[in-house]
Amino acid sequence: MYSPSWQVKIPVQEPGPERRPKTVTDPKPAPSSKTPSRSESDTESESSLFRTAVGAVKPIKHDRAQPTPSKRPKPMPKRRQDIAAQLEALDSPFEPALEAGDTLSFANPGVPTRQLRRLRRGQIRLDAQLDLHGMPSGDAHDALQTFLNHACADGLKCVRVIHGKGFGSPSGRSVIKSKVNHWLRTDPRVMAFCSSPQHEGGTGAVNVLLRS
C-alpha cells in the first residue's frame, strides 16, 4: 500500500482555563440628603426644655377660638357732644371764635351811618326778640331762620336776638354768639346788626335791622 511521504499536522487546541461570566453587582445607593434621625434621648431633651419654658398648659376642650370682648368706651353725654361739634365747626375761617366781651357790628353797603348809630344806641323800636341762649347749634340755627321768616312776613323792622356770652360753656368760648355773627352776616334779609346797649343785654345780644 502506498503511503505518502508528507503528513499534514492539524493543530490541536489545548483546553485553556474556563471562562466564567462576569457577575454584575448592583450600584451603590446615592447618599441621602435627609438629615439622619435623632436619637430618642435628644427628642426627649428638647421636649423637656419646651415644657419648662412654656409652663403649665391647659388643654382646649374645643377647636373654636373665643375672642376676648373689648370694653366699649363710655358714651359721651349729649350736651358734651353738641359742644364738641360746635367747637369743631368754629375751626372754619368764616366763623372766628368770639369772646364774651367782644362787640358785634355789621352793616351792608348803603345803610346810612346815622341809622346804624341809632341802632347801636337802641333808639330804634324793637318789634320782637328771640332767645337762643343755651341752645345746641343746630336747634339755634333752625329757630333763627323760622324767627326771621315770620318777622319779614309780618313786616317787622327791628328785632333782637339773644345769643348769650358763653359763660356756661366748658371751653369758655361763645359758641352761639360766633354762629349768630356768621349767620346774620350771610343772610340777605339782614341790613345791619350790632351788639345791644348795655341795659338791653350788652354783648350777650344783637339788635338786627331787617330789610323792608
Residue 194's CATH number? 3.30.1370.110
In a domain, 94, yes or no: no
Residue range 14-47, pLDDT digits in tens: 555 555 555 555 555 555 555 555 566 666 676 6
In a domain, 36, yes or no: no
Query: What's the pLDDT at 63?
Result: 58
Residue 91 pLDDT level (bands cut at 50, 70, 90)? very low
Q: Could you tell me which residues are beta bridge partners of residue 158?
A: 209
In a domain, 34, yes or no: no
Helix axis angle, 137-153 relative to 175-185, nearest 10°?
Answer: 40
Q: Which residues lie below 8 Å from residue 87, measured CB to CB, with a gap of 6+?
A: 171, 173, 175
Range of the domain at 176: 101-210
Contact 144, 180 (CB under 8 A): yes
Domain total of the chain: 1
In a domain, 37, yes or no: no
In a domain, 83, yes or no: no
